[in-house]
A and B are shown apart, each in its own frame.
Chain A
Amino acid sequence: DTGVSQNPRHKITKRGQNVTFRCDPISEHNRLYWYRQTLGQGPEFLTYFQNEAQLEKSRLLSDRFSAERPKGSFSTLEIQRTEQGDSAMYLCASSWGLAGVEQYFGPGTRLTVT
């Protein structure tokens, strides 16, 4: 299967701990996006990369959040000093081309901060 993969699928952590999520996009896709989805809501944009360059970050992405995409392949999203409000589904998507019109999503990582 050559779809978008995300690991881990579930993460439970205590408040104040750091967590890191990984996303492997579809291999030929040059754009990679991170979204966050809370219960009962649609996904909200966090950030995106074109190849290895991070081109846009949402206001939702506080200083505790950092994302990287070394070598333009997989990406990681790290949350430092987690808070209960960080509990959400973190979704990764990838697309090909300049417009990023069609984005294909991974299964997501469900984060629970206790």
Chain B
Amino acid sequence: TQLLEQSPQFLSIQEGENLTVYCNSSSVFSSLQWYRQEPGEGPVLLVTVVTGGEVKKLKRLTFQFGDARKDSSLHITAAQPGDTGLYLCAGGGKAAGNKLTFGGGTRVLVKP
């Protein structure tokens, strides 16, 4: 069974601070996605990484896929209240039977 662990589970910071969320597994994934979820809504896809060592940037968000494709991180620079939400990493791809395996999520609260 492939498992993804996210840390920390909860993060509370002030507006303008930086934060990093980690996603770790003992298994190799063909791809890894990051989603953000608002209360009562479905997850919204932020980024997909597929190559070991890959780094992708989306405005103030930087995503990195580990060289061995077992871990990933999400870094937010100068966080804003609009970044508040539940951040989920999910591993998938053909090797995982086409289904996504999700981490438990990191709840981020950015206070103004």
Contact = CB atoms under 8 A, between A and B. Distances in A.
Given A55-B98, A56-B97, A103-B100, A42 B92 contact: no
Interface string A74-107: 0000000000000000010100001111111111
B55 interface: no
A41 B105 contact: yes
Contact of A42 (B41, B42, B102): B102
Interface residues of A, number: 29
A106 B98 contact: no
Interface stretch (B14-22, B43-51, B62-70, B72-80): B43-51
Contact of B103 (A31, A42, A98, A100): A42
Contacts of B8: none
A54 to B, nearest CB: 12
B42 A107 contact: yes
Contacts of A100: 92, 98-99
A56 B90 CA distance: 18
Given A100-B99, A101-B48, A101-B92, 8 more contacts: A35-B100, A42-B88, A43-B43, A99-B30, A100-B92, A103-B92, A106-B42, A107-B40
Interface of B: 4, 6, 30-31, 33, 35, 40-45, 48, 50, 88, 90, 92-94, 97-105
6 pairs of A and B residues whose beta carbons are closest in the complex: A42-B102, A105-B42, A45-B99, A100-B98, A101-B31, A108-B42
